[in-house]
Structure 1
Amino acid sequence: MNNTKYIIHQGQYFYIYFRYDPAIIGVIKSSFPEYKYEVARKRWKVPARFRIEVERFAYANGFIFGLPVEEEKTFDVPELPELAIDIPLKMPMYPYQKTGVAFNIAKQRTIIGDKPGLGKTVQSIATIIAGDAFPCLIICPSGLKENWKREWHKWSDKKAMILEDRIKTTFPRYWEHAMADVFIVNYESLTKYFVQQLPKRIKGEPWTVKDVVFKDKNVQLFKSVVVDESHRCKSFSTRQTKLTKGICAGKEYILLCTGTPVVNKPIDLVPQLGIINQLRIFGGYEQFIKRYCGGPNNASNLNELNCILKANCFYQRTKEEVLKDLPSKVRQIVYCNITTRKEYLEAEKNLKRYLEQFEKADDARVQRAMQAEIMVQMGVLKRISALGKLQEVFDYVDDILESGEKMVLFIHLKDVAQAVKSRYPGAVMVTGQENAEQKQHSVDSFQKDPNVKLIICSIKAAGVGITLTAASNVGFVEQSWTAADQEQCEDRCHRIGQKNSVNAIYFLGKNTIDEYIYSIINKKRNIAAKVTGNEELIEVSVIDNLINLFNQKVA
């Protein structure tokens, strides 16, 4: 190492390293109100609250922050293994997903880091089934609980259930009586279901997992744990990271899912590696910090880090790497809980009352007139759902943007567009509010500027005539009434020049009109494709089907 004088910041302290030099020792003693020499580790220790004094000392005496960076070596990254067993799933996996599952089976405690849209969920499900690691606990953000439940039922015959207050103390019995195999909980509810007592907080004194009294019966029930969006466990100082680590301890399978395992620097990996008990392969916490968090950017020996991770506990593929395995377009449903449920239910009651009058009308002309009003009231339901699901939409969009990918987000209503723009002020827009020159500028910026990650588009204003192939992720906050409109929006990205598989994501309010519309349109789309072989050219009205559905609810 060229520089043997360096300072490392860990937690509440700065640690100063240098070869014995009486002059520097004298400067330390005169520079800091508090210090201590640790004989065993041959380092000086200064509280972190003296950051300014430490920075002045470093500048004046030629110290660097972080471990001195060695010249990077090159390493051969091992290939993922082939899957040698059959796993009973309802649908086949793609070849690259199978190699991911084979790696998980071999290592058992891994970070699945595939980029968004490549199927981290199904790889987790297949791994747990292959290992017969039931019961399984899924820890995920609140907005993804319903999606995990539906994915388990979509891919397997296993019974999945979401933990809720009514079964807070009795959920283990569902496993004992073969009523559930998989249990799903959000980060914020870990204390409720798995903790007997949290440590009493003493101001300024941190607590660790060892200080928590867990509900042993509930924690020990599980053979496996899947942690979704694990990058949210970004610090050992947070409660959710500590509790997640404690619940995962000793499990046969621990799978972490995240498309952005390193949000800023290698230190982001430390809590996740701790959860899967893989810090040991790096020599422990302190050795990891010294080896991989050095240099001016707190990042060092990255080739070595990448190789060790991929050899032992981590893999990540991009769409470009697995393009040969993917279809040209994939549709994905994300179910969202809405925050406007009370308002939605009131509007739904109004619609039902109107539908009762509609059914009693025996004059065709009256029915046609009333049908227009029904469309208006259904539009109200769509608006309430759209505004109510925005927070969960934002959480999903954040993950895609943080992974470095671009996204097109389709909306319909002006106030929904404004809410999205307020959340992402750097986004560009193509809606009915911009003139032709402004729209073209937005498209050009999105296509050519790597810093413009998000474009907000109106279904009507941007559904035809523009190319947005800089993105392969298309999200729908709101839906059109027809399959053709939505196909045209998807195809803004799915055009000549697109080098990736396009992932079309439909954000549907749970138990709202969104689900009805998507279901009807999808059925009509499939019928159209079978009859004509060209589903894009078929427009199908859904109003009659929606009236029938709401009438069934009234009955």
Structure 2
Amino acid sequence: MANRGQGRSGGQRSAGGQRRREIDNQGILPVLARGVREVESAVQRGRGQSIRSRYQAIALLVREERQRVKNDPAIPEGNRAELLKRLDGVATILAKTATREPHLFDLLAEDAVPSDEVRMLMREMSQAAGVEVAPEPEPVVDEQAVARVERRVLPRSVVARQLANPFMPPDFSAPPPPTPATQRLSTWELIGPLLSAFERASAGSPACMELPEPTSLTTPGGPPLMRHQAEVVEAAREGHRTFLLADEPGLGKTAQSLLAAHAADAYPLLAVVPNVVKANWAREAEIWTPRRTATVIHGDGDDIDGFADIVIVNYEVLDRHVGWLGDLGFRGMVLDEAHFIKNKSSQRSQHVLQIADRMRERVARPLMLALTGTPLINDIEDFRAIWEFLGWIDEKQPGPHLMAALEETGLTPLDPGFYPSARQSVIDLGIVRRRKIDVASDIPDRRVADIPVELEGEAARSIKAAERELVRRLLSRYDHSIAARGEKPEGIDRQLVEHVAIMVRDETPADDAENVFTMMRRIGQAKASLAADYAAQLARQTGKVVFFAKHIDVMDTAQEVFAQRGLKYATVRGNQTAASRQEGIDAFVNDPEVKVIVCSLTAAGVGLNLQVASNLVLAELSWTDAEQTQAIDRVHRIGQDEPVTAWRIIAAQTIDTSIVELIDRKAGLAARALDGSDEEVSSADLQLETLVALLTQALEAR
């Protein structure tokens, strides 16, 4: 704004009445006075949500004008006092108005960022006051944005796909959006009331759309579905195309999404996911939709399959690929941990919304799924970006389907009944929220779920190099033994493989060499922060979480992550006194602010009652199934009234994957031991079998 002083205060007048009339009738003050009375009247009529932008515009203009009046030396002192008094009167009305609608207080904060609509209103009010308004500034070149564009890549396999299908005609075969019979709400600001409708909901109000009865629990080649999962898949099969899938963790949102895409034939499908679960998405796709190819984007995507049915990308590299992802012709998009985009000013949010908008330009009704166990992290405003991704709203107003539903209610935000009706209208667009306790008959009372993670950086390279060196040592000993015999066997000599594995297991490696035990410790260190990050997500979504690790440095890393995330935690370690140990347990059990307890597998594996939680994270693998079971039993015990899920963090493409398979196989042996088997399962056996598996795989790959 510029030259607000022109025509406002003028020079000193000889008549006090003339000066007062001039102050009352000139400049920005009368515009602000009229505006604040309109705002006050709207709040008194119950339309507080509809005037948020005007309220903030008036508040900012008052702040600017007060600063100008105080600092302008051309204004005589008498006029200055009158002007400041009038401005204080406007500010007082703003403050009193906010006491009736407390959400307006947020707009008075120093760090409250005005929207484009607020800036436009400020310009309009200044122009109405006859104030010379500065021209719109020339757009500033964002050098960082330019650099981000320059970082964008186009993998060669994607170019091949585009050349193979150069036209990719848009699909507008879906029926046009509904046209409301009336336009009563066209002049209302509705985003605020829609958000308020969820804030005003009474405790226990359901937040789940009506779902159809499933016609089948079978899947295209994968395991059978649970009933609650099949309901979402059936809804997609019947034509529903937008879902905010907010089931609690552990209810199989990934499987529901993949099979909904299959039911809707929404291929190619784009899945935008956190890095920590990227490998798991590829694995789940292979399990649930084995006839569909999936590809994972790493880095610049040099090794991706451009012709895959399912493309999986993590938020962290989305900036490099946002260009071609928007043009590939996706018919479906899944956003995992959708609360990651709650900050609309962030690059990740803008990229996600950009891709979603470009999809809707080419496909009239693409399948859009937002997955999150915690759709609200801080406040109700967190809904905005998710709703916009789903196409339910844009920046200013509801989309056509939601607007039609609101018009059908026959209500406006002045009517008390508007808010429950509006909330239901949004829910019917596709909000699905089930808790574990709601579908307890569907899920086992105790289960182990694996979360594969990808190790990155120097630690990952070092671990993979050490694994290659271990395999080389095994092969060298095997080949040396074969050469000493002088006779090459047909196929693989299984007996010799085990003999070589025993030798390597029992030998003392050189200073720079690794054995299975030391490698597993290094893998645990490398995945510690990823495991802690997943535990932090669980804690925010489901409540209390038990975090188990074997080594002190892994526990130290986890505690640093929790502290950075602002999560209060307790600890149970072997080096604690009995009093300190009990203090940590009591804090976790009794203090609602303590969300995580970091436990040593050996120190806390027995004798603890932690059933206040129903989720635990196993950051490191045990050497026996018994040790793992003991940890789970700290949570799964008498007094537990929810199904228990143990999340095992597995380092993909390392010996972690081999060891977890062996643990599960030994678990079967341990179960059979109850029927008479006397076979023992020791950690030494598991190390030996890991070496046997490594050597066998290497020989088979020759």
Query: Retained in 1: the 8 A contact 2:318–2:351?
Result: yes
* 1:548 correspondence with 2:681: no
Q: What is residue 14 of structure 1 aligned with on the other side?
A: 56
In the TM superposition, 1:48-447 aligns within 5 A as 62-64=97-99, 65-66=102-103, 72=200, 79-84=210-215, 88-89=219-220, 90-105=222-237, 106-157=239-290, 158-164=292-298, 171-172=305-306, 174=307, 180-195=308-323, 216=327, 218=328, 221-249=329-357, 250=360, 251=363, 252-279=366-393, 283-284=397-398, 306-339=423-456, 340-352=459-471, 355=474, 371=506, 373=508, 377-425=515-563, 426-447=568-589
Q: Are 1:483 and 2:625 an aligned pair?
A: yes
Aligned with 1:502 (options 644, 653, 656): 644
Q: 1: CA distance between counterparts of 2:394 and 2:320?
A: 31
| Distance 1:554-1:160 versus aligned 2 partners, 3 A rule | closer
Q: Deviations over 1:385-442 (max 9, x none)?
A: 1121233223322221111411111101111111112222421111112122221222
Structure with more of its chain in strand, by fraction: 1
The answer for unaligned runs of 5 or more in structure 2 is: 1-41, 70-87, 105-192, 407-417, 485-495
Deviates more, 1:478-487 or 1:359-368: 359-368
Residue identity over aligned pairs, in percent, reads: 25
* Higher alpha-carbon deviation: 276-285 or 324-333: 276-285
Matched AA of 2:556 = Q
- Letter paired with 1:31: R
Distance 1:11 1:397 in 2: 39
For 1:365 and 1:185, locate their aligned partners in 2 and report how far apart those are by CA, in whole Å: 41
Q: Tell me which moved more, 80-89 or 128-137.
A: 80-89
Residue 271 of structure 1 deviates from its aligned partner by 0.8
How many Å separate the matches in 2 of 1:482 and 1:283? Answer: 57
Instruction: Report the AA paired with residue 56 of structure 2.
Output: F
CA distance in 1, matches of 2:344, 2:266: 27
Alpha-carbon separation, structure 1, partners of 2:67 and 2:57: 13
- Structure 1 residues 256, 452: CA separation in 2 closer, same or farther (over 3 Å shift)? same
Structure 2 counterpart of 1:459, one-letter code: L
3-state DSSP of counterpart to 2:436? coil
Q: What do residues 229-253 of structure 1 show as CA deviations (whole Å, max 9, x unaligned)?
A: 1111113222222221222231520
Gap regions ≥5 residues in structure 1? 18-24, 35-52, 175-179, 197-213, 292-300
1:344 corresponds to which letter in structure 2? I
Q: Work out whether residues 217 and 226 of structure 2, in 8 Å CA contact, stay in contact via their aligned partners in 1.
A: no
Offset of 1:31 from its aligned partner? 3.4
Q: For the residues of structure 2 that align with 1:534 and 1:256, how far apart are their CA atoms?
A: 49
- Deviation, structure 1 residue 165: 6.2
Normalized per residue, which structure has more helix? 2
Letter in 2 for 1:82: E
User: How far 1:513 sits from its partner (Å)?
Assistant: 2.3
Give the TM-score normalised by the residue count of structure 2: 0.62
Q: Whose Rg is larger? A: 2
Partner of 1:50: none
Select between 79-88 and 365-374 the one with higher mean Cα deviation. 365-374
Partner of 1:14, secondary structure, is helix
Residue 490 of structure 1 deviates from its aligned partner by 0.9
Structure 1 residue 66: Cα displacement: 3.2
Point out the more displaced range, 255-264 or 86-95.
86-95
Q: Which residue is equivalent to 1:44?
A: none
Q: RMSD between aligned alpha carbons? A: 4.1
The structure-2 alpha-carbon separation of the partners of 1:469 and 1:6, relative to structure 1 and needing over 3 Å to count, comes to: same
Match in the other structure for 2:66? 31
**Native 8 Å contact 1:7 1:63 kept in 2:** no
SS, match of residue 517 in structure 1? helix
TM-score if structure 1 supplies the norm length?
0.77
